[in-house]
Structure 1
Amino acid sequence: MLPDTHTLTTAAETCRAAARMSGVLLAVAHADAPAQTIVLGSDAAEVTLAANALVPVASLTKLATALAILRLVDLGVLDLDANLAEYLPTAAAARPGVTLRRMLSHSAGLPVDVRPAWAPYQPGLTWPKLAAVCLAEPPVATPGSVVQYGNLGYGLAALVVEMTSGLPFSIALRDLVLDPLAIEGYLGHELPRPPALLADVRSNNPPSLAPFNSAFYRSLALPWAGLLTTVGGALALVRAFAGYPAGFLSPTLRSTALTNQTPGLAGGSIAPLWYAECPWAIGPELRGDKQPHWAPANVAPDSFGHAGASGAIAWHDPASQISYAIIGTRTAANGWLLRHAAQLGATVVGGA
């Protein structure tokens, strides 16, 4: 069961203070029970946070993109093991062995990202221009040889969704994932209220182009990092993989999606987050025995979720049946997500 509200609030305040950030949002839930939300402090502009604050969640977007693919698989429209060439024959990455299964588990041999020189981060950049660059990037390693965490596979997955649905990805994501899960989330769409602003955004760009905080960044509708949602929305994404609500994914496909797709493979992102064995599911990361890690050591090895560089994590522990999402008002650039969010997560699942 969940710790009491006082314990959760104290742990969240400890995390906020240790990370030296102005605010933190925490949402927790046990099994299929309603979520509990704790809100502390303000955003980087000293605007008091609310439970419905819209916050950029960076790579938690990948959970939503993976869910869109899985929904289409459940509908019989897509095959996880078909070669990418079946769906995007003109893609440079459409080589034998490059499949949706491998793309969503970061084991398709793709580069980390599109080349900046091909898609300069400056006014005039749009998702269609980025999509064209995604189609032009070839693999850099043999599919199934390494886990290289990156964005390109999710850009290509979004293009598969567009091709299949006949809709822009942002609209297809709303129809397939956000609306069915009752998530207030926005990808490239105008926001109904100002978003929470983040501190410690490390960029040489002017404020009008700042990652996470600018309208320009939000306009790109990045299928790997562009979603803005509430802390409850972040929690709902990981709970969908845990089977809540029932019926959103078929039990068989959901079980498949949470199976380690990369047994025996080394990988990760960059040091120190590179592991001799790097288990990954179809969308979510699996905890395994990775160290260091932003999920605590007291969760089960088959626990799963995702973290985002904006300062966010959503995680589910099957052993305790507890799901949680933590969103801070400071990006993860200084390492607080590794050092302090893991301790808060340990308290949430009952290990202090």
Structure 2
Amino acid sequence: MESVRLLSQRLQTGVLCMFGSGFHCSWHCRRLLQRGRSSCFPDVVASAACRPRKCRLQPQGRETLLCASYLSQQLTTDVSQATLASVAPVFSLMKFDKEGNISFSERKKTELYQELSLQARDLRFQHQVSISPRNNRIIMRMDFLKAVVTPEYLLILDYHNLNMEKWLFQELAPQLAGEGQLVTYSLPFEFRAIEAILQYWISYLHGRLNNLQPQILETLDALVDPKLLSVDRSKVHILLQNGKSLSELETDLKVFKETILDILDEEEVLEELCLTKWTDPQVFEESLSGIDHADEMELLLENYYRQAEDLINDARELRVLIDDSESIIFINLDRGKLRGNAGSGSQNSLK
């Protein structure tokens, strides 16, 4: 890296003033001046008080401390810049505008948050599920779905995910352009973007439940039948795996529901989510004349809060069925063991 190469040129033996051991070398400073490298560290050379005599170790004084301080700062700055330049994450971006037009690009994190007038921490996506207004932007995360909503466009970050492929390439653009089934089509763009993301996520969670429900019911029917002479242990393993998946789904539903509830409890956050209200004077005047966008946002979020509650109740019913069936499954397992032992005893007696 160029910055590292330049740094290594600067840190010659004569420039590193042995600040670690508490001494500095005047002779090396003189050599540095003779080679015309004083421009690299002008403050250090000026403060080193170099003398045209043989190299000798001198006790650490004010000059040495200044030299060490300057070198330490220079080393930290140059190496940090080189490291950031080499490891800065690159986001693959999919951009949707109001008309449903799509464009693709790649941006380093540093470039992206500057373009969006955000801070670096805003794009860390620390929480698995979050909806956060920041500087007239909305940062959203639904697990693997990461997005930034502005009054003019929607950015999907790191869009290479099989779960989102159909939605991104077939459904999202028409929804944002007002051709879908969104209830917010007559409201500003950020409403459509938020609704589209929430609709996708609740559909994704619903799909996971719909996939688990028939598997669990079928497995339970096979395990609790009183006519069974033996229990298929492989089905017990399947039930355990499905039970684990159900627990994960319940957790995701709970986090989603609580995230929305936190916003509903904060009137200021609801206001901040209405981006266009604060950037378009006409929209602001309309809100004052009776069209309250914060109320519209509240209704939108309440709708998905209720949907999350319904899914939680359905998942809870499945959990109750599993818990209630455990005792019967254990009885059938014990019955199978007894029959197996009895069969072995009969064979031994025949012998």
Query: Normalising TM by the smaller chain, what interval?
Result: under 0.3
TM-score relative to the length of structure 2? 0.23
Q: TM-score, normalised by structure 1?
A: 0.23
The one of the two structures with greater contact order (alpha-carbon pairs below 8 A, sep at least 6) is: 1
Relative to its length, the structure with more helix (as a share) is 2
